Amino acid sequence: MERTAPTLERLDDHRMIVNLGPSHPSTHGTLRIVLELEGEYVLSATPEIGYLHRGVEKLGESLSYAQFVPLTDRLNYCSSLMNNVGYAQAVEKLLDLKIPPRAELIRVLVSELARIGDHIVCVGINAVDIGAYTAFLYLFKERETLYDLFEMAAGQRMHTSFTRIGGLFRDLPEPFLPLLDQFLESMPRSIDEMERLLTRNPIWVDRTKGVGRISAEQAIGWGYTGPCLRSAGVAQDLRKAQPYLGYETFDFDIPIGTCGDVYDRYLVRTEEMRQSLRIVEQCARRLREVSGPIIVDDYKVALPPKEKVYTRMESLIHHFKLVMHGIDMPVGEVYSATEAANGELGFYLVSDGAKSPYRIHVRPPCFPIFSSLNEQVKGRLIADVIAILGSMNVIAGELDR
């Protein structure tokens, strides 16, 4: 099978090579796709990745488990909170640690907010890429509120580093819930407005319906997860299928599509935003009732509070031991998966009992999805490449690691 990218020597008169990216505005981070075109039709598309490869997995091998949290922010930078949660879950699975109920609730809350934020970016940018600018603006107004919420919770808008092993960095501040209530009130309206602009818009439907169609078998074979798999008709969502963080106690539905095209992916993501809002609502209600610590009370895992470190010898020793020698890790390996905005975000940790992981591997959700690009765009128009690429929600940060 001839699968290498086309070069000048193989070129005859009718064909043209177009480099889409790495700096093309619609390439969602630094991606490069070498397109072989005949007229406006795509003969083959060869994705070239690695432009944003920072060696996260290599770096992790010399950092302590706690020090890796900031690097997870930089995987999927559109929903960094969810990466933080996914990584913390993996380390806690390795430690066999149960976190306090309030920490679980807040993790669910921020994950769902991050999912909404991620879907806003994906749907909004997908629309912008194919020429519908307004929907993007309606949504980005809400995204601004979301980022204000993130800033309140974590002190940072993008690179949140909100989780700690065994819980969270801090509790939600006082003004968080009032602002969340405002958001819960205005976000459904914004989704309605966006849907009025897109869902029955004939241009949007023409550009997206039937584009990037994929069957359930193909999607499973390619390793699709998340909205892209669900839009192909497979009701696979780890929040329901393999519940973690108490997702089984929340009331929400899993939307699925029928043919897996760009339009279905858009509809699935839109409905998922509404379902996430339902979860956030339930979280907000429960948060007013559930109080308690937000991090485990085990100073061999989590740092003791600062006032104790300054006043008590024991706590000072714990602090010192934890910072200098790290957590006492069991020897073993775990694979822990969470449902991120884009699909299954997996962390594979191998521990040899040392301060830093022996091997840390990230399974980014968009990696297998993007690998099917050639199959999806072959024989289609170059304009469809942009639509399909947008609907895959490829984030170069997690793709290249």
Partner 1 sequence: MIIERMESAMPGAVLDHHAFRGDRTVVVLAGRLPEVAALLFEEGFQQLMDVTAVDWYEREPRFDVVYHFLNLVTQERIRLKAQVREGEALPSLSVRFRSAEWSEREVFDMFGIPFTGHPNLERLLMWKDFPGHPLRKDFPMDGGDAFCTGDTGTSYAGRACTLNL
* Minimum CB–partner distance for residue 169 and partner 1 (Å): 25
CB of 98 to partner 1, least distance (A): 13
* Residues pairing with 168 in the sheet: 163
Question: Which residue shows structure tokens 């879907």?
Answer: 119
Burial 140-169 (b: 16+ CB within 10 A, else e): bebbebbbbbbebbbeeeebbbbbbbbbbb
Instruction: Give the shortest CB-32-to-partner 1 separation in angstroms.
Output: 9
Tokens of 138: 């309606």
Judged by CB, which is closer to partner 1: 18, or 179?
Answer: 18
Beta carbon nearer to partner 1, 86 or 368: 368
Nearer CB in complex with partner 1: 192/298: 298
Provide, rounded to whole angstroms, the least separation between the CB of residue 126 and partner 1.
23
Measured from the CB atom, the residue of 128 and 245 that comes closer to partner 1 is: 245
Distance in angstroms (rounded) separating the CA atoms of residues 367 and 392: 10
Nearer residue to partner 1 within complex by CB, 129 or 237 = 237
E strand or H helix at 304: none
Residue in the block written with tokens 């091998």: 61
CB atoms within 10 A of CB 38: 10
- State the nearest-atom distance from the C-beta of 346 to partner 1, in Å: 6
Minimum separation from the CB atom of position 292 to partner 1 (A): 25
In whole angstroms, give the CA distance from residue 342 to residue 335: 18
Decide: 227 and 352 in contact? Cβ < 8 Å. no
Measured from the CB atom, is 59 or 184 closer to partner 1?
A: 59
> What are the structure tokens assigned to 212, written together?
């990037």
Residues at the site binding partner 1, with contacts judged by CB under 8 A: 1, 3-5, 7-8, 17-19, 34, 48-50, 53, 55, 57-58, 62, 93-94, 96, 218, 220-223, 225, 234, 236, 241-242, 332-335, 337, 344, 346, 348, 350, 358-359, 361, 363, 367-368, 371-372, 400-401
